[in-house]
Homo-oligomer: A and B are copies of this chain.
Amino acid sequence: MSLQVMILSNHMFDVIKGDLEVLEEELLAAVAAPVELVTEVGTHLVQSGGKRLRPALCLLAARSGPQFDMKHALPLAVAFELIHMASLVHDDVLDESDTRRGAPTANAKWGNQVAILAGDYIFARAFDLIAGEGYGDHVSKRLAQLVCNLSLGEIVQDSAVYRASQGEADYLDRIRKKTADFLEICCELGAEVGGLPTAEQQKLAEYGHCIGMAFQITDDVLDIVQTTETLGKPAGNDIRQGIVTLPVIRALEVSPEAEELNAIVTDPEMTAEQVKRALEIIMATDGVDFARDRAEEYLERAKAALPEGLPRDVYEAYVMVADFIGGRDF
């Protein structure tokens, strides 16, 4: 089972269940365009699902503040999901992916041209939505910088493929840009529009950063430990794409077979047999446990960062998110 399906079947977002239902409607409204084809693409993207983790984190934070007003917070939450959606659409073009979440990708269904332009449209709709809500310049600036960093992170990742020489610091920097910054901003800006004091905004930002790091490390571990069947995509997919993750970096440091592993993960022409061999070498080291420990450390930091004054149900939801990401039973 993928992390996403598990998040959906978990009850941690029950406290904002009603909010998330409204969010779905608003997402559909947001992608409705004066050009039918664009509405069709946007509707397909919204309806192929997703865990809505980003808007959920934003709404939980907003709900904690003294000035919470769902009508005011909603466009920001929608904007976060639109930005996420647009970046996935462009990623799928870059990776020439045919399916995502079991549904055909926009590029597979409508071709690269439409996918690129629909992605541009959805990015711009996010900025359109938040302008006029009176969030202030800080929110717009942070959102724009988020999109800048997502693109930079993707370029850095693409240019680092099949290069095993990256250390842990490079890896952490990469997943921060790719995932953690995004979750951080969702929490931080949610708290801001909810009217929480700056100190608490910062604490929630730290929480978002830490669960984002843990989330990506866990996702990267899953790519190695799960079977193709449970994962819904081929195991060792990152290795195949030349993306060097933490268990690999650790194995390259400690494995007696590091040289063989290095030769495989740096070879763009690696065979399926070699990917299997690489997985064996990694599994014979403490690479996976090492990565899981790192994730656990981030989750402890995340929970410790939660402000004490949060409403009980919000606090518990945040703790459940952290515990869930740390669950070792998947």
Contacts and interface: CB of A to CB of B under 8 A. Distances in A.
Nearest to A146: B124
Interface in A102-129: 112-114, 116-121, 123-125, 127-128
A203 interface: no
Interface string A124-146: 11011001111001101101110
Nearest to A148: B124
B131 A144 contact: yes
B128 A141 contact: yes
Nearest to A121: B151
Interface stretch (A152-160, A194-202, A288-296): A152-160
A148 B128 contact: yes
A34 B37 CA distance: 36
B94 A152 contact: no
A151 B120 contact: yes
Nearest to A129: B144
Contacts of A137: 131-134
Contacts of A141: 128, 131-132
Contacts of A131: 137-138, 140-141, 144
Interface in A147-194: 147-148, 150-152, 154-156, 158-159
Contacts of A33: 148, 152
For this chain, the copies found in one complex come to 2
Given A148-B125, A152-B33, A155-B35, A117 B94 contact: yes
A155 B115 CA distance: 10
A38 interface: yes
Most buried by B among A35, A116, A128: A116
Nearest to A158: B113
B144 A90 contact: no
Contacts of A94: 112-113, 116-117
A147 B123 contact: yes
A45 interface: no
9 contacts: A35-B152, A37-B159, A93-B112, A116-B116, A117-B151, A119-B120, A125-B148, A127-B140, A134-B137
Given A127-B140, A128-B141, 15 more contacts: A37-B155, A94-B112, A117-B155, A117-B158, A120-B147, A121-B151, A121-B152, A123-B123, A123-B147, A125-B144, A127-B144, A127-B147, A128-B145, A131-B141, A132-B137
The list of the 9 closest CB pairs from A to B, nearest first, reads A124-B147, A128-B144, A131-B141, A131-B140, A127-B144, A121-B151, A120-B151, A124-B148, A117-B151
